[in-house]
Amino acid sequence: MDERRPADTPNPNPAPTDAHGAPDALSMIESRLDRRSFQEHNWEGTFEQYLGLVMQRPHIARNAYQRLYDMVLSYGAEKYQRFKHDFMRYHFFSDPVDHGADAIFGLDKPLMDLIDVLRSAAEGYGADKRILLLHGPVGSSKSTIARLLKKGLEAYSRTDEGALYSFSWMLDEHCGAGAKDHEFPCPMHEEPLLLIPREAREDVLDRVNEAYKAQGGHGRIRVVGELDPFCRKIMGDLMRHYSGDWRQVMSHVKVRRIVISEKDRVGVGTFQPKDEKNQDSTELTGDINYRKIAQYGSDSDPRAFNFDGELNVANRGLCEFIEVLKLDVAFLYDLLGASQEHLIKPKKFAQTHIDEVIIGHTNEPEYKKLQSNELMEAFRDRTIKIDIPYNTRLDDEIRIYQKDFGPERIRSIHVAPHTLEVAAMWAVLSRLSPPKKAGLTILQKMKLYNGKAIPGFTEDSIKELVEESPREGMTGVSPRYIQDKISNALVSAQALEEGAINPFMVMNELETGLAHHSLINDEETRKRYRELLAVVKEEYEDIIKGEVQRAISADEEAIKRLCANYIENVRAYTQKERVRNKYTGRDEEPDERLMRAIEEKIDIPEGRKDDFRQEIMNYIGALALDGRKFEYNTNARLYKALELKLFEDQRDTIKLKNLVSSVVDDETQAKIDVVKQRMIKNFGYNETSATDVLNYVASIFARGDSKGD
Cα maximum dimension of the chain: 119
Tell me the β-bridge partners of 88.
79
- Select from 632, 647, 662 the last residue of a domain: 647
245 and 378 both lie in a single domain: yes
Contact yes or no for 66/219 (Cβ under 8 A): yes
**b/e per residue 1-24 (b: at least 16 CB within 10 A):** eeeeeeeeeeeeeeeeeeeeeeee
Predicted confidence (pLDDT) at residue 604 exceeds the cutoff of 90: no
- Measured CA to CA, the distance from residue 313 to residue 186 in angstroms comes to 11
% pLDDT > 70, the chain? 91
- Measured CA to CA, the distance from residue 450 to residue 442 in angstroms comes to 12
Contact yes or no for 189/316 (Cβ under 8 A): yes
403 and 370 both lie in a single domain: no
User: Which pLDDT score is estimated for 11?
Assistant: 52
Query: Is 172 inside a domain boundary?
Result: yes
546 and 581 both lie in a single domain: no
Predicted confidence (pLDDT) at residue 548 exceeds the cutoff of 90: no
Positive or negative: CA dihedral 678, 684, 688, 693: negative
183 and 157 both lie in a single domain: yes
- Measured CA to CA, the distance from residue 187 to residue 230 in angstroms comes to 8
- Measured CA to CA, the distance from residue 92 to residue 78 in angstroms comes to 11
610 and 640 both lie in a single domain: yes
- Distance, first Cα to last Cα, the chain: 61
Nearest to 140 by CA among 95, 104, 86, 176: 104
DSSP state at residue 269: E
- Select from 647, 662, 694 the last residue of a domain: 647
Contact yes or no for 644/549 (Cβ under 8 A): yes
Q: What are phi and psi of 23, to 5 degrees?
A: -55, 140
Tell me the β-bridge partners of 254.
168
Query: Confidence class of residue 600 from pLDDT cuts 50, 70 and 90?
Result: confident
- Select from 499, 533, 550 the last residue of a domain: 550
- Measured CA to CA, the distance from residue 674 to residue 552 in angstroms comes to 8
Nearest to 537 by CA among 299, 655, 688, 696: 696
pLDDT digits (tens, 9 = 90+) for 626-642: 888 888 777 778 888 88
CA distances (Å), 382 to each of 336, 339, 385, 391, in order?
7, 7, 10, 28
User: Which pLDDT score is estimated for 24?
Assistant: 75
Helix ranges (DSSP H) in 468-608: 479-490, 493-498, 503-513, 523-552, 556-574, 592-599
Query: Is 689 inside a domain boundary?
Result: no
Query: Is 335 inside a domain boundary?
Result: yes
- Measured CA to CA, the distance from residue 168 to residue 281 in angstroms comes to 27
544 and 559 both lie in a single domain: no
444 and 515 both lie in a single domain: yes
Nearest to 54 by CA among 184, 207, 194: 207
Nearest to 537 by CA among 472, 455, 443: 443
Highest-confidence range of 298-302, 352-356, 675-679, by mean pLDDT? 352-356
Query: Is 21 inside a domain boundary?
Result: no
- Measured CA to CA, the distance from residue 627 to residue 635 in angstroms comes to 16
pLDDT digits (tens, 9 = 90+) for 502-527: 999 999 999 999 988 877 878 899 99
DSSP state at residue 348: T
543 and 564 both lie in a single domain: no
User: Which pLDDT score is estimated for 21?
Assistant: 55
List, in order, residues 6 or more apart from 299 with CB less than 8 Å away.
Answer: 288, 290, 293, 348
Residues 578-583 have a mean pLDDT of 77
Query: Is 675 inside a domain boundary?
Result: no
User: Which pLDDT score is estimated for 400?
Assistant: 94
Query: Is 567 inside a domain boundary?
Result: yes
Q: In three state form, how does the secondary structure of 130-174 look?
A: CEEEEECCCCCCHHHHHHHHHHHHHHHCCCCCCCEEEEEEEECCC
In total, how many domains does the chain have?
Answer: 3
pLDDT digits (tens, 9 = 90+) for 257-294: 999 999 999 999 999 887 666 667 788 999 998 888 88
Q: What are phi and psi of 564, to 5 degrees?
A: -60, -40
User: Which pLDDT score is estimated for 662?
Assistant: 53
CATH code for the domain in which residue 153 is found: 3.40.50.300
- Measured CA to CA, the distance from residue 59 to residue 459 in angstroms comes to 43
DSSP 535-569: HHHHHHHHHHHHHHHHHHT--HHHHHHHHHHHHHH
Query: Is 1 inside a domain boundary?
Result: no
Give 252's Cβ-side CA count (13 Å radius): 29
Contact yes or no for 375/430 (Cβ under 8 A): no
Predicted confidence (pLDDT) at residue 19 exceeds the cutoff of 80: no
Nearest 10 degrees: Cα torsion 434, 439, 445, 448: -160
Predicted confidence (pLDDT) at residue 410 exceeds the cutoff of 90: no
Task: State the DSSP H helix or E strand holding residue 119, giving kind and residue range, or none if neither.
Answer: helix 108-123
- Measured CA to CA, the distance from residue 520 to residue 189 in angstroms comes to 47
| Strands of 172-267, DSSP E | 182-185, 253-258
DSSP state at residue 413: S
Please name the amino acid found at residue 320.
Answer: E
379 and 467 both lie in a single domain: no
Nearest to 472 by CA among 462, 484, 457, 486: 462
For the entire predicted model, the pTM comes to: 0.83
- Measured CA to CA, the distance from residue 215 to residue 399 in angstroms comes to 39
Query: Is 313 inside a domain boundary?
Result: yes
Interior CA angle at 217 toward 215 and 220, to 5°?
Answer: 120
Residues 413-429 have a mean pLDDT of 95
User: Which pLDDT score is estimated for 558?
Assistant: 78
pLDDT digits (tens, 9 = 90+) for 177-198: 777 889 999 999 999 999 999 9
305 and 215 both lie in a single domain: yes
Residue 86 buriedness (CB in 10 A; 0-12 / 13-18 / 19+)? exposed
Contact yes or no for 601/640 (Cβ under 8 A): yes
Residue 182: helix, strand or coil by DSSP? strand
User: Which pLDDT score is estimated for 415?
Assistant: 93
290 and 347 both lie in a single domain: yes
Predicted confidence (pLDDT) at residue 654 exceeds the cutoff of 80: no
Beta pairing class for 85-90 and 414-415: unpaired
Residues 25-36 have a mean pLDDT of 78
Range of the domain at 602: 555-647
List, in order, residues 6 or more apart from 518 with CB less than 8 Å away.
Answer: none
152 and 252 both lie in a single domain: yes
Beta pairing class for 357-362 and 318-321: parallel
- Measured CA to CA, the distance from residue 23 to residue 18 in angstroms comes to 6
pLDDT digits (tens, 9 = 90+) for 438-464: 788 999 999 999 988 787 788 888 888
Structural Rg of the chain based on CA atoms: 35
Contact yes or no for 701/709 (Cβ under 8 A): yes
